[in-house]
Amino acid sequence: MKRLLVLIICGLAIFYVTKNSHKYSDFLANKITDTNQLVINDSNEYIKNDDFLYVDISKDYIPYSYKDLQNIVYTIINNGWDTFTFYCPSEYVSCLDDVEKLSTDEITLTHINNYVHPFNSFTMLRTSMLGSEITVNVIHVYNQEQIDAINLEIDRIMNLIIKDSDSTYDKIKTMHDYIINNTRYDQTEREWRTTASSIAYGALFDHLATCNGYTDTMAIFLNKIGVINYKIATTANDLQNSATGHIWNAVYYNNEWLHMDLTWDDPVTTTGEDMLHHKYFLVTTEELQRVDAGEVNIEEHNFNPKYYLEFNEKSQKLS
């Protein structure tokens, strides 16, 4: 009789757990990751806490979809971590396949990288899998020595050319003009992220930059003055007649997302003459396309809107 009672109780327990398996697996996954395995360090000072439509900050680091994986990767980079380990729950049966897919999707990772502060951006992500354990190692673009030098130099420039009483518009325009007037496009370098010209260090100290260098320098400044921004890019896949992509700044100003392209406002001339334009300064997508549609059709700004949802017509303003 006692044995029968035990069997009945066990049977009821199994039925209850089976019926509520997802709830219990969530509980166990959180319990395992929260106490035994998941190590969550503090973020660094360059974390962005802004809400974007394409990527969200992950709260629990437990993925149940490909979108969750993208958000976890974004959060790892955004926090400025060098390494982070998370786990695939058993309910997400394709998790390991999706991790493999995302880790080799250079296009998607490039666009995710554009949402973080330049100092937290990566030049390489290395993902390893051991059972359900996923470890992401981040190789950052900037080292600490470069970060310290850039911060000091931008602070020095800001103290020289910007007043506290200046409007946000004037501050952005003043820095836009300063960077262009003190930087030349580096025509000798074409490889992305291989020299100082492709980061803010080259723009500020060598006075040479590729589009990456112009864009990073402006992004660092925008973050310093508290203006929401990210980098927006086209890749070679988006372009028909160009072998390389392009990158520029997306800026949230006056309750609207606008484009700003310092590279194209600092055109290379056949005479070597320095020029300063404002054709691509805080313009809408419509204005951007209108400027591009000249005698020579420019396709470098043909970005894929699925990665930059703030520039969809229905999403032009933050809620």
Q: Verify that 74 and 131 share a domain, yes or no.
A: yes
Residue 72 belongs to some domain of the structure: yes
DSSP letter assigned to residue 196: G
Q: Verify that 160 and 278 share a domain, yes or no.
A: yes
Domain boundary among 124, 140, 156: 140
Q: Per residue of the chain (319 residues), what is the pLDDT tens digit?
A: 434 333 333 343 333 333 444 444 444 444 444 444 789 999 999 999 998 999 999 999 999 999 999 999 999 999 999 999 999 999 999 999 999 999 999 999 999 999 999 999 999 999 999 999 999 999 999 999 999 999 999 999 999 999 999 999 999 999 999 999 999 999 885 544 457 999 999 999 999 999 999 999 999 999 999 999 999 999 877 776 665 789 999 999 999 999 999 999 998 776 667 789 999 999 999 999 999 887 667 788 999 999 999 998 655 544 3
Q: Verify that 125 and 203 share a domain, yes or no.
A: no
Residue 27 belongs to some domain of the structure: no
Sheet containing 256-260: give its strands across: 229-234, 246-253, 256-260
Q: Verify that 119 and 180 share a domain, yes or no.
A: no
Q: Verify that 50 and 194 share a domain, yes or no.
A: no
Q: Verify that 69 and 216 share a domain, yes or no.
A: no
Q: Verify that 175 and 249 share a domain, yes or no.
A: yes
Q: Verify that 123 and 204 share a domain, yes or no.
A: no
Q: Is 292 exposed, middle or buried (0-12, 13-18, 19+ CB in 10 A)?
A: middle
Residue 29 belongs to some domain of the structure: no
CA angle 63, 138, 55 (to 5 degrees): 45
Q: Verify that 214 and 245 share a domain, yes or no.
A: yes
Domain boundary among 117, 140, 163: 140
Amino acid letter, residue 76:
I
Q: Is 198 exposed, middle or buried (0-12, 13-18, 19+ CB in 10 A)?
A: buried
- The torsion angles phi and psi of 259, rounded to 5 degrees, stand at -95, 150
> Structurally, how many domains does the chain consist of?
2
Q: Verify that 160 and 285 share a domain, yes or no.
A: yes
Residue 2 belongs to some domain of the structure: no
Closest CA to 77 of 49, 111, 47, 102: 47
Tell me the three state secondary structure of residue 307.
coil
CATH number for the domain harbouring residue 219:
3.10.620
Inter-residue contact 199 to 216 (CB < 8 Å) = yes
In angstroms, the CA 204 to CA 154 distance is 8
Model pLDDT, residue 319: 38
- What is the extent of the structural domain holding 107? 39-140
Q: Which residues does 116 contact at the CB level (< 8 Å), separation at least 6?
A: 46, 48, 74, 77, 78
| Structure tokens given for 186 | 């580096």
Residue 197 belongs to some domain of the structure: yes
Residue showing tokens 């290379």? 268
Domain boundary among 140, 156, 176: 140
Residue 89 belongs to some domain of the structure: yes
Neighbours of 181 (CB within 10 A): 12
End-to-end alpha carbon distance in the chain: 64
In angstroms, the CA 21 to CA 257 distance is 44
- The torsion angles phi and psi of 133, rounded to 5 degrees, stand at -90, 125
* Cα separations in angstroms, 170 against 120, 138, 223: 27, 36, 15
Q: Verify that 153 and 270 share a domain, yes or no.
A: yes
Neighbours of 183 (CB within 10 A): 23
Model pLDDT, residue 299: 84
Inter-residue contact 249 to 219 (CB < 8 Å) = yes
Q: Verify that 94 and 173 share a domain, yes or no.
A: no
Report, in angstroms and rounded to the nearest whole number, the Rg of the chain calculated over CA atoms: 24
Residue 153 belongs to some domain of the structure: yes
In angstroms, the CA 38 to CA 72 distance is 13
Model pLDDT, residue 315: 53
